[in-house]
Amino acid sequence: MQAKIIGTGSYIPSEIQENESFLHHEFLDEKGASYEHGNEVIIEKFQSITGIQERRYAPAQFKASDLAFFAAETAIGDANIDPEILDYIIVAHNFGDVEHGSHQSDMLPSLASRVKHHLRIQNPKCVAYDVLFGCPGWIEGVIQAQAFIKSGMAKNCLVIGAETLSRIVDKYDRDSMIYSDGAGAVVLSATEETTGVLHHESASYTFDEAYFLYNGSSYNKSVRPDIKYIKMYGRKIYEFACKNVPTAMKDCLDKSGMGIDQVKKILIHQANEKMDEAIIKRFYKLYNLPVPEGIMPMIINTLGNSSVATIPTLLDLLMKGKIENQSLHKGDVVIFASVGAGMNINAMVYQF
């Protein structure tokens, strides 16, 4: 028994924040000092590295669980199934529901329970739970759903990635420009076909790397120190990802039974354009091959980094022909890969 994606959905917030909106922000370094260069230089350098020109923020009245619900509804409609037949609802996130204007995380009840409630599912055998695995959380949720299906414990699973990162950033930190909001979802169903999830690999590096991403105080020393924001050691993460993600992808592909020449697309977490390009280049170098043109669709330039939502959103847009010069066809072999807080890495080989 294999797990096959039969429906996709996403929710892309309508509020657009262009890079120019940060021109009048007060950016400070870790010591609370102003930068030597003005914001025009900071933003120009930021865009050249990350590729981000604009990002999306959720409307004030919606929380992460709302975004997850919107994406879920679309995926269920795309799959053309009755939500009552879902065996599992798995929601990947990092910070739960955060009210607009607040920094307090709310995960009681779980976001998955809230999504099930919004979907008005009556079936108590539909189990709803959350996954906290950093940015690779959505892939990890798919891996878990695949295990349930492969073992015969489930026939239909809904896996969602949702986040409102814009509400937990330190506005004085220039890294705040990276983060965005959004949600993506898929419905996986049991199939006798030999396609679907072919293999997966996951790893957690915690000995020295656990706190490369962490909760920390604002760089503005006048802000209450007990209020915490998402912080990261960007250079360490870049080096870690470039070293470990390509090998995880290769291990996964080699064990899947598919060859490198059969890979049609690589859907990688939209974290940083330069980093993703370096990862893919190193991955193909492991096979002594150049990077094929068009192998890696990107949406980070207009949608930013919405953590667990980036890959399912990318997949949904790709499946529905909404990315210019990019498409997927029946039989195509795709590698999914992600890296994030923990530090966690995963990869998955899938055949459509």
What is the predicted pLDDT for the residue at 129? 98
SS3 249: helix
The torsion defined by the Cα of 20, 228, 307 and 10, in degrees rounded to 10, comes to -80
Nearest to 266 by CA among 167, 334, 350: 334
pTM above the 0.85 mark? yes
What is the predicted pLDDT for the residue at 102? 87
Same topology, domains 2-194 and 198-351? Answer is: yes
CA 164 to mean position of chain CA atoms: 12
CATH number of 2-194: 3.40.47.10
3-state secondary structure 111-166: HHHHHHHHCCCCCCCCEEEEECCCCCHHHHHHHHHHHHHHCCCCCEEEEEEEEEHH
Whether the per-residue pLDDT at 331 is higher than 90: the answer is yes
What is the predicted pLDDT for the residue at 36? 85
* CATH 3.40.47.10 fits domain 198-351: yes
- pLDDT (tens digit per residue) in 165-200: 999 999 999 999 999 999 999 999 999 888 999 999
Mean pLDDT of the chain: 95
Q: How confident is the model at residue 101 (pLDDT cuts 50, 70, 90)?
A: confident
Residue indicated by tokens 């120009």:
44
Which residue ranges make up each domain of the chain? 2-194, 198-351
pLDDT, average across residues 85-106: 94
What is the predicted pLDDT for the residue at 293? 93
